[in-house]
Amino acid sequence: MLVAKRTKYRKSFRGAMGGLSIRGSTIDFGEFGLKALTAGWVSARQIESARKTLTHYTKRGGRIWIRIFPDKPITKKPPETRMGSGKGDVSEYVAVVRPGRIMFEMSAITQRVAEEAMRRAGAKLPVRTKFIVKE
């Protein structure tokens, strides 16, 4: 699973997810891409699940690029804990995804196979997605 090796700060604020994605909104490496249509947090587990789906459906053919990285720590307090006593421990890492962000790219396979693989991978993610082809 993807996780940050080291971060500047151990715990972070939740932040606001307004606006569109400026960076990472064009296909740069492959021929086909999976684009986010809504904003959300994509966890490291969800990214790994989508990656496994892509490699499994394409029978390890073609080339896959993961364009998002989970670098935001999410904290959680243990169950049955009273309020107060500080922020909870880091439980997972997420990638902040805004509309327009290219999350996965593929190449060296047919468009039909890439489209179905991306559709299946998109089902594993908490944001609405769209299959796109490089112009």
Please give the full DSSP string across 77-121, using - where no structure is assigned.
PPTT--S-SS--EEEEEEEEE-TT-EEEEEESS-HHHHHHHHHHH
> Using CA atoms, how far apart are residues 91 and 109, in angstroms rounded to an integer?
37
Is residue 46 predicted with pLDDT exceeding 90? yes
Question: In this structure, are residues 105 and 58 in contact, taking their beta carbons and an 8 Å threshold?
Answer: no
Amino acid at 132: I
Q: So what's the pLDDT on residue 135?
A: 85
Walk me through the domains of the chain, giving residue ranges and CATH numbers. Answer: 32-133 (3.90.1170.10)
Q: So what's the pLDDT on residue 36?
A: 98
The pLDDT tens digits for 86-128 are: 999 999 999 999 999 999 999 999 999 999 999 999 999 999 9
In degrees and rounded to multiples of 5, residue 43 shows phi and psi of: -80, 165
